[in-house]
Amino acid sequence: MPRRGWIVLVGLAVLIALPALLGSYLVTVFILVFFYGYLGQAWNILAGYGGQLSAGHAAFLGVGAYTATLLAMHAGLSPWLGMFAGAGAAGLLGALIGALAFRFGVRGFYFVLLTVGFAEVCRIVALNTDAVGGALGLYITFTGDPRQLQFRDNRAYYYVALGLMVLATAVTGLVERSRLGTYLRALREDEDAAEALGVDTFRVKLLAIVLSAALTGLGGAFYANYLFSLQPNAVFGIPLSVDIIIRPVVGGAGTIWGPLLGSLILSPLAELSRTYFASGGLAGTHLVVYGFLLIAVVLLLPRGAYPELVRLWGRMTAKGR
């Protein structure tokens, strides 16, 4: 097996063993690192590899979460199965957005705005539909029943989140190595040229958004049963979409490890900030830091932290040149 494969396996083994060594708070931090890493990875497929910047990805998570939760509430369906329904629903939304956007050639900033528009429509609809809880949202009763994707022990959530992250990374890796990945990167660089070379850009982009959306929606059930509450403003809102975007952008969009690195850097920061700054007038502190980081990354490390680290490593290990 190539050396990189060994590194990944060892890393995974470490992550699996970690909860035995860490206290509950750190386990929580890692849950966030994994969950946002997973979300960022799903976004990465569409936006990093495909170059279609979506600023409304929270909509997919929200649709997935609401679908799974409503099915659990009204049909008694276990969230373990409901999460796939959530993924399906989110995938459908992605298909709708993609079909409309790409058929009408909506690109660049217009596409960003379109995704924001759809996410806000979802939010407003959820906010005003009493059948899905309206402004109060949905509250999930805590049963601690593993069959309901609920656990009394934090560490179980840790493993589910880790599983999601591994799944998303595996999917991204498969996409990266596949023809779809090549087509995506081609149209990211120059869509018209790719089209001229015979790439069916519509189909490729549509596939990417459906995959990205479904993968994002899958985690909705986890989100619902970890936080025990679903509120339209939180789960469909722009702040969550920004949270989803910023980690892969800082870490390196369009690379397989970028989103994970970005989450590793930013999620503990956010959690620390929330714990220590949330009280009093420092409520927005971590977001200000986010903003500065985003600016710094865009100006100084436009490709993200991971590619720059790779470059540095390459320079350090190139002997005598």
* Site membership for another protein, residue 274 (CB under 8 A): no
φ, ψ of residue 230 to 5 degrees: the values are -125, 115
Binding to another protein in span 215-234, by CB under 8 A: none
The minimum distance between CB 208 and another protein, in angstroms, equals 15
Q: Of 38-46, 167-175, 281-289, 308-316, which part binds another protein (CB under 8 A)?
A: 281-289
Identify which of residues 170 and 296 has a Cβ nearer to another protein in the complex.
296
* Site membership for another protein, residue 112 (CB under 8 A): yes
Rg over CA atoms, the chain: 20
* Site membership for another protein, residue 276 (CB under 8 A): no
Identify which of residues 9 and 121 has a Cβ nearer to another protein in the complex.
121
One of 28, 182, 229, 285 touching another protein (CB under 8 A) = 285
One of 13, 16, 121, 197 touching another protein (CB under 8 A) = 121
* Site membership for another protein, residue 193 (CB under 8 A): no
* Site membership for another protein, residue 120 (CB under 8 A): yes
* Site membership for another protein, residue 125 (CB under 8 A): yes
Q: How far is CA 129 from CA 115, 141, 216, 241, 251, in A?
A: 21, 21, 23, 22, 37
Identify which of residues 249 and 264 has a Cβ nearer to another protein in the complex.
249
The minimum distance between CB 58 and another protein, in angstroms, equals 13
Residue 177 and residue 164: Cα distance in Å, rounded?
20
Q: Report how many residues bind another protein under the rule CB under 8 A.
A: 40
The minimum distance between CB 107 and another protein, in angstroms, equals 9
One of 15, 171, 242, 309 touching another protein (CB under 8 A) = 242
One of 19, 40, 50, 51 touching another protein (CB under 8 A) = 51
The minimum distance between CB 101 and another protein, in angstroms, equals 7
One of 160, 194, 214, 249 touching another protein (CB under 8 A) = 249
Which residues sit at the interface with another protein, rule CB under 8 A? Answer: 51, 53, 100-101, 104, 106, 108-110, 112-114, 116-118, 120-121, 124-125, 127-128, 238, 242, 249, 281-285, 287-288, 290-295, 298-299, 302
